[in-house]
């Protein structure tokens, strides 16, 4: 994840829940993509604090630092070297066809794309393959990047290691809620100003949910609604599954008004996030513990990445 500060529901419902669930099945590596953050904003003044804030949210969500090293991309120099090598194995035209890039340019209304943004998936390939990752939990918008990673791994192995491949060709792993919408109905993103933060108080959550878009044909209580096209019902589907049938019946009949529906939804979201807020408060009071977790994760990740680069050098004959 790119460190843009505190995380939101889209981060939790998409990849983060998946990461936590997979800890018992795989050896996981969790990367704070601080170099990636510079592709859309070169200002690095808040990068470290944003990284700490994001790490606190990871820990509060249930990531276990003993099982899953957590580290900053910038502190493992092997990422940059592997990115340079991989950049020789893919064309600019292939990167320009990346649908995720096109979507970002449209959503952020970008006029000029920096080289680093165009090459984002090449650095991401280095992030994955430095640890020989074979399964990558992602949202659906990142699946094109996984395909580029597979192409680069295949190209490297074919050129330099045909008899003893260095890299696996990783698969992406989607969750049921691969893309969680923001309160305006678009993808949830800080850059779009439509997020509900994991650290938000119940009052902040209620204020944001009150602004959420609903069925435009349901103007007042008594009007029959269409829950399947209503954003708030999507939130209920995730956070209030036990009352879905009742909510659907109330919406479709007109008995349940949008204001009451939103408040019910906001309360359930706040209740679900209560343990997260409690853990976050603990780590904010014990910031030295957070920094120690980060240093340990970086040391462990660096050892793995260095071993991979030794294999890369040997395969290329440049060691």
Tell me 13's DSSP state.
I
If one looks up domain 200-280 in CATH, what number appears?
A: 1.10.240.10
Distance between CA atoms of residues 218 and 38, nearest Å:
42
Same fold: 9-180+287-316 with 200-280: no
**What is the four-CA torsion angle of 279, 282, 288, 294, rounded to 10 degrees?**
0
What pLDDT band is residue 4 in, cutting at 50, 70 and 90?
Answer: confident
Distance between CA atoms of residues 77 and 205, nearest Å:
39
Q: Read off φ and ψ for residue 116, nearest 5 degrees.
A: -65, -35
Q: List alpha helices for 136-191, DSSP H.
A: 143-160
Report the top-level CATH class of 9-180+287-316: alpha beta
> Reduced to 3 states, what is the DSSP secondary structure of residue 6?
coil
Please provide the DSSP assignment of 244-306 as one string: HHHHHHHHHHT-S-HHHHHHHHHHHHHHHHHHHHHHHHHHHH-HHHHHHHHHHHHHHHHHHHH
- Residue 272 near residue 242, CB atoms below 8 Å: no
Distance between CA atoms of residues 182 and 201, nearest Å:
17
Q: Where in the chain are the domains?
A: 9-180+287-316, 200-280
What pLDDT band is residue 173 in, cutting at 50, 70 and 90?
Answer: confident
* pLDDT on residue 177: 56
Q: Tell me the average pLDDT of the chain.
A: 93
**pLDDT per residue as tens digits for the range 305-316:** 999 999 999 999
Minimum mean pLDDT among 46-60, 69-83, 90-104: which range? 90-104
Distance between CA atoms of residues 315 and 309, nearest Å:
10
């Amino acid at each position: 994840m790119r460190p843009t500060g505190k995380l939101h529901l889209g981060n939790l419902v998409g990849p983060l829940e998946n990461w936590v669930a997979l800890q018992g099945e795989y050896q996981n590596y969790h990367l704070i993509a601080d170099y990636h953050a510079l592709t859309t904003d070169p200002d690095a003044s808040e990068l470290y604090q944003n990284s700490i804030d994001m790490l606190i949210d990871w820990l509060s969500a249930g990531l276990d630092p003993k099982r899953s090293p957590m580290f900053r991309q910038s502190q493992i120099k092997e990422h940059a070297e592997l990115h340079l090598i991989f950049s020789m194995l893919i064309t600019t035209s292939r990167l320009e066809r990346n649908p995720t890039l096109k979507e970002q340019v449209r959503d952020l209304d970008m006029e000029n794309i920096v080289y680093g943004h165009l090459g984002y998936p090449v650095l991401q390939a280095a992030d994955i393959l430095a640890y020989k990752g074979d399964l990558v939990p992602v949202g659906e918008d990142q699946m094109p990047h996984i395909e580029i990673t597979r192409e680069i791994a295949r190209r490297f192995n074919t050129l330099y290691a045909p008899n003893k491949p260095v890299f696996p060709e990783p698969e992406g792993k989607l969750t049921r809620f691969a893309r969680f919408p923001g309160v305006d109905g678009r993808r949830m993103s800080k850059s779009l100003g439509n997020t509900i933060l994991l650290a938000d108080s119940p009052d902040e959550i209620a204020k944001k949910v009150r602004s959420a878009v609903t069925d435009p044909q349901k103007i007042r209580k008594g009007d029959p609604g269409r829950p399947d096209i209503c954003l708030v019902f999507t939130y209920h589907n995730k956070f209030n599954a036990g009352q879905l049938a009742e909510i659907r019946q109330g919406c479709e009949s007109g008995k349940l008004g949008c204001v009451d529906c939103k408040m019910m939804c906001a309360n359930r979201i706040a209740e679900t996030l209560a343990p997260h807020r409690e853990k976050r408060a603990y780590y904010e009071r014990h910031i030295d513990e957070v920094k120690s977790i980060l240093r340990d994760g970086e040391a462990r990740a660096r050892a793995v990445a260095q071993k991979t680069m030794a294999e890369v050098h040997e395969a290329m004959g440049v060691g």
